[in-house]
Amino acid sequence: MPEREFETYFHRRAGRFAAFYSSEPVARILGRGPLFDRLELAVDTARSLAATRVLDVGCGSGPLFAPLAAQGIHVTGIDPADAMVALAREQAAVFPSLVEVEQRGWEAIEEVDAYDLAVALGVFDYVEDPVALLTRMGRAAPHVVGSFPAPGLRLLLRKVRYGARGVGVHGYRASGFDRLAAGSGLEVAEIHPLGRAGFVAHFRRKAEPTG
């Protein structure tokens, strides 16, 4: 799918995606609880690392901003879709000294060691070259957290629904994370299952050999 068409798809549906995060109780009733579970895992990882700067890749409407800013963490959110960026900037305005939003896709991540942690929630689902994304994130920060949908009926239905609009959706198995990490110059630190929804994986740079 051409990049501009992909951006247009998420631009047109920005409000719908943002609504998923409007109420955690409702989301859990509708079976979307993993959206909040992965947010919590990302925030917990940032806290455990004592992170001060986080890159939020594909930030969408900015659901990660408030919980990170509440910890005093500076967040840079990036997203290519116009409407998503507009919603994200509304959220960022609540934390003017801690959150900034830039309109760009993950392909434009050029920073090196600019952050303590890079996060991509709901992004690897749509990326045809996950190694390229993980590599860029791993250059920008020594730790990376990403969410990954698992194969199964849930993913199959998404493939049909999104495929009708020209958007590809990709599934991942836990057994493939070591290979994905190795191809990106990283290693797997932790994998957190999200039930049928998939996984949240924490990657880190490999330790430099000593001696």
The amino acid present at 205, given as its one-letter code, is R
The CA angle 154-182-151, to the nearest 5 degrees, is 10
Place of tokens 């830039």: 102
The amino acid present at 100, given as its one-letter code, is E
DSSP label at residue 51: -
pLDDT tens track for 50-102? 999 999 999 999 999 999 999 999 999 999 989 999 999 999 999 999 999 99
User: Could you give all domains of the chain from N- to C-terminal order, each with its CATH number?
Assistant: 3-205 (3.40.50.150)
Q: Provide the sign of the torsion angle of the four alpha carbons 87, 38, 144, 196, taken in this order.
A: negative
Q: Provide the sign of the torsion angle of the four alpha carbons 89, 92, 94, 98, taken in this order.
A: negative
Contacts of 92 (CB under 8 A, 6+ apart): 62, 65, 77, 99, 100, 101
Q: Give 119's strand partners.
A: 56, 145
Contacts of 70 (CB under 8 A, 6+ apart): none
- Locate 7 and state its tokens: 């951006």
Rg (CA), the chain: 16
For 13-22, what is the mean pLDDT? 63
**Predicted confidence (pLDDT) at residue 14 exceeds the cutoff of 90:** no
Instruction: Return the pLDDT at 145.
Output: 98
Pairing of strands 143-148, 53-57: unpaired
- C-alpha pair distances (Å), 142 with each of 39, 120, 152, 197, 205: 19, 14, 32, 26, 5
pLDDT tens track for 175-190? 999 999 999 999 999 9
Q: What three-state secondary structure class fits 22?
A: coil
pLDDT tens track for 106-161? 999 999 999 999 999 999 999 999 999 999 999 999 999 999 999 888 788 878 87
